[in-house]
Amino acid sequence: MKRIAILGSTGSIGRSALSVVEAHADKLEVVALAAGANVALAAEQVKRFRPRCVAMGSAHSLGQVLRAAGDARVAAAGAGKEGLLAVATHPDVEILLCASSGTAALEAVLAAIEAGKTIALANKEVLVMAGSLMTEAARRCGVSILPVDSKHNALHQCLHARPASEVKRLVLTASGGPFRGRSAEGLRGVKPEDALRHPTWKMGRKITIDSATLMNKGLEVIEARWLFDVAARAIDVVIHPQSVVHSMVELLDGSILAQLGVTDMRLPIQYAFSYPERWESPLPPLDLTRCGRLDFHVPDHRNFPCLGLAYRALEGQGGLPVVLNAANEVAVEAFLEGRLRFTAIPELIERAMDGHHPTAVTSLDAVRRLDGWARAYSNDLARSLESRI
């Protein structure tokens, strides 16, 4: 049995992960769960999967879950960051799936690495913020960080421990989101409900907006840089509206290896859990005869500047990715609350990056300090841009 802990068990990835556990109950066991505020679902999960401990975003929610779980006899791991840390480093945990949204799990993931846990990483924000610290700690502790994000999972499958000297470039595919092909004018008036309608994937709200602005692909470029230790110039993005090819690797001789599959996150989650083995999947296989055409286009950098901003952050000095990530979170929240135009999202991020004086971020404290500054600065920018709505 592989013993699993999940941060963010009530979210889109967390629920899919539990469905993978159910499909492979003879191989996977849930040891610890952490969620934010969804008490009803967390309590249901505790009753069903009987983890040894549970954590919630607040002490109040945790108390409610424990009461609702009744005779499930689950221990309280804690609330807030303390709870995430306790779940991530629980002595019985072998694999930690980090599927919480935002950046709250940063310290918990780093502590899990130090404790020797294998990391199945869905949350890209923690790697964008602290990629160097995470990968250095993983190398030092001999810990694997296995990508759950479907694109990086695809790259991991194609690379298959191939020497770096044989690899020319990584090619991340992007669906292009719901606004692919729109002009700048056509993007100005889009509403949160339009942006939340993703054409091919069902995901949480924040990542769905990131997909609409192409920031999701930008974050993925940064994630790929750290996961696979490649320079930004060796990572390309192509728009592939059908989302059948999940990503590709070009080798020195020009051969391109691709991973194809159904658009269901249970597949990459299962692969991260089963790795290095492969298990049968209960999902219907991809029927190539029904896929139709497969298109590949160059991204529209002019109308979707977020992707270019991510490359700039990666190539720049100091903590620019931290600023990019914080500014993006502030901008997306303001957009979802109807306080900011869709087209103001990249504008806010760019201004926050322009306002940053390069500083070295060589510790978690430095990352958190810069993140705090970037959020405060971005909130001020959001207020100044709000007046244009």
**Residues engaged in binding ligand NAP (CB under 6 A):** 8-14, 34-38, 57, 84, 99-102, 104, 122-125, 149, 201, 203-205, 207, 265
Q: Name the residue nearer to ligand NAP (CB basis): 248 or 385.
A: 248
A 10 A CB-CB count for 50 gives: 14
Q: Name the residue nearer to ligand NAP (CB basis): 100 or 343.
A: 100
Is residue 146 within 8 Å of 264, Cβ to Cβ? no
CB 61, min distance to ligand NAP, A: 8
Of the candidates 112, 100, 119, the residue with the CA atom closest to the CA atom of residue 275? 119
Q: Name the residue nearer to ligand NAP (CB basis): 101 or 247.
A: 101
Q: Name the residue nearer to ligand NAP (CB basis): 325 or 385.
A: 325
Of the candidates 342, 335, 262, the residue with the CA atom closest to the CA atom of residue 306? 342
Q: What angle do CA 280, 285, 287 make, to 5 degrees?
A: 160
Of the candidates 173, 146, 166, the residue with the CA atom closest to the CA atom of residue 250? 166
Q: Which amino acid is at 246?
A: H
How many residues are listed for the chain in this entry?
389
Q: Which two tokens stand for residue 121?
A: 């990483």
CB 201, min distance to ligand NAP, A: 6
CB 103, min distance to ligand NAP, A: 9
* Whole-number Å distance between alpha carbons of 120 and 31: 15
Q: Name the residue nearer to ligand NAP (CB basis): 23 or 203.
A: 203
- When CB distances to ligand NAP are compared, the closest residue is 11
CB 34, min distance to ligand NAP, A: 5
CB 229, min distance to ligand NAP, A: 20
Question: For residue 305, what is the enclosing H or E element?
Answer: none
Q: Name the residue nearer to ligand NAP (CB basis): 45 or 385.
A: 45
CB 44, min distance to ligand NAP, A: 12
Q: Which two tokens stand for residue 82?
A: 């303390």
Question: For residue 76, what is the enclosing H or E element?
Answer: strand 75-79
Q: Name the residue nearer to ligand NAP (CB basis): 251 or 283.
A: 283
CB 25, min distance to ligand NAP, A: 21
| Residue recorded with tokens 């940064």 | 222
* Whole-number Å distance between alpha carbons of 91 and 72: 20
Sheet hosting strand 75-79, strand order edge to edge:
75-79, 53-56, 28-34, 2-7, 95-98, 118-121, 145-147
Listing DSSP states for 26-67 in one string gives: TTEEEEEEE-SS-HHHHHHHHHHH--SEEEESSHHHHHHHHH
Radius of gyration of the chain from its Cα atoms, rounded to whole angstroms: 20
CB 182, min distance to ligand NAP, A: 23
Q: Name the residue nearer to ligand NAP (CB basis): 251 or 262.
A: 262
CA-CA-CA-CA dihedral for 117, 273, 222, 233, to nearest 10 = 120
Q: Name the residue nearer to ligand NAP (CB basis): 12 or 281.
A: 12
CB 11, min distance to ligand NAP, A: 2
